Amino acid sequence: MWLPPNRSSVSPRLDDAPALTTMAEADALREPSTTPGAQGTVVADPPTGAAGSGGEKVMTLVDHLTELRNRLVITIVAVAIGSAVGFFLAPRIIEILKAPLGTDKPLVFTGLGDAFMINVKLAVVFGVIVAMPVILYELWAFVSPGLTTRERHLARPWVPLALGFFVLGVIVAYLILPFASAFLLSFQSPDLQALITAEAYFGFVTTLFLVFGLAMEFPIVLVLLSKVGIVSSQALSARRRPAILVIAIVAAVATPGGDPISPLILGITMYVLFELSIWLVRVTGR
């Protein structure tokens, strides 16, 4: 009796080869290939902390938070050291800052701990100003890894200039302090005598210094924005009138005391810096 041949013992026919080849290719699609450029290559996610395409380490969220913590710790330590020095120099600082007010206008305090707290506040402001180079460096060190090589190259020269502009703002604030004080005191009369508290006066002075110092930084911001292609000299020139309005509002709101001299000087300074920014952006080819 004839029986059908056992298929398991018979070698595959030639017409089965394409099917076997297709199955091999299907298996290759399922398994990652170690040959660069081969079909079926499965690209796995880079491991944590792996190097990127440019050879730079890819930082995770935890790495970024750790880096931010370290930068903040260094900044706080720098401000603390500067504040400690400022606390010992507080009597001399008070003497210098009070000079524009005149010797005939004594400063008083009403609370038992007011004098101590005034020394502490002046020391902290002094510490922030003295530690500004460290603050700017730590800010740059934290931000720069997220920039491209071109952006880092374009922005690096402007970081030291930011410190110079801040110091310039503090100097301008100190120069206008006598005029602002004289204007505000000119309204006293026999019925209105000034009894100036030390807390109010030094609060006015330190706020004025910080406002002028920070306001001087905005040309740096505009130039850096132009470096990455966000703004241009043509765009800034076309928006000169709205910029003047914004500068006037900022100068009026940011300056303390209510005198017209401080916002006027701040507004004029900011407008001059705005025009300087347009020139700098144009010179750099934007």
State the SS3 of 104-156. CCCCECCCCCHHHHHHHHHHHHHHHHHCHHHHHHHHHHHHHHHCCHHHHHHHC
Directed axis angle between helix 61-88 and helix 114-130, to 10°? 120
Mean pLDDT of 102-106: 75
- Please tell me whether residue 57 adopts helix, strand or coil conformation: strand
Question: No. of H helices and E strands in the chain?
Answer: 12, 0
Note whether 214 and 166 are within 8 A (CB): yes
* C-alpha closest to that of 194 among 204, 206, 186, 202: 186
What span, in angstroms and rounded, lies between the C-alpha atoms of 69 and 85?
24
pLDDT given at position 187: 84
Residue 40 — pLDDT band, cuts 50, 70, 90?
A: very low
Note whether 140 and 212 are within 8 A (CB): no
Residue 184 — pLDDT band, cuts 50, 70, 90?
A: confident
pLDDT given at position 45: 47
What span, in angstroms and rounded, lies between the C-alpha atoms of 115 and 233?
50
pLDDT given at position 23: 46
Note whether 254 and 266 are within 8 A (CB): yes
Domain ranges within the chain, ordered by starting residue: 61-283
pLDDT given at position 66: 85
Give, rounded to a whole angstrom, the gap between the first and last alpha carbons of the chain: 96
What count of residues does the chain have? Answer: 286
What span, in angstroms and rounded, lies between the C-alpha atoms of 85 and 126?
8
Is pLDDT above 90 for 85?
Answer: yes
Largest distance between two CA atoms of the chain: 139
CB atoms within 10 A of CB 132: 19
Q: Any idea what the Cα angle at residue 116 is, between residues 115 and 120, rounded to 5°?
A: 120
Note whether 273 and 221 are within 8 A (CB): no
What span, in angstroms and rounded, lies between the C-alpha atoms of 263 and 249?
9
Residue 6 — pLDDT band, cuts 50, 70, 90?
A: low
* Cα distances (angstroms) measured from residue 155 to each of 71, 120, 142, 172, 226: 19, 35, 14, 26, 10
Mean pLDDT of 26-44: 45
Note whether 243 and 236 are within 8 A (CB): yes
Is pLDDT above 50 for 36?
Answer: no
Residue 8 — pLDDT band, cuts 50, 70, 90?
A: very low
> Whole-model pTM?
0.64
Report residue 201 as tokens. Answer: 């006066």
pLDDT tens-digit map of 208-225? 888 888 888 877 777 777
Average pLDDT, the chain: 76
Is pLDDT above 80 for 251?
Answer: yes
- The beta strand positions in the chain, using DSSP E, are none
Report residue 108 as tokens. Answer: 């008083």
pLDDT given at position 56: 54
Across 102-111, 126-135, 142-151, least confident range: 142-151
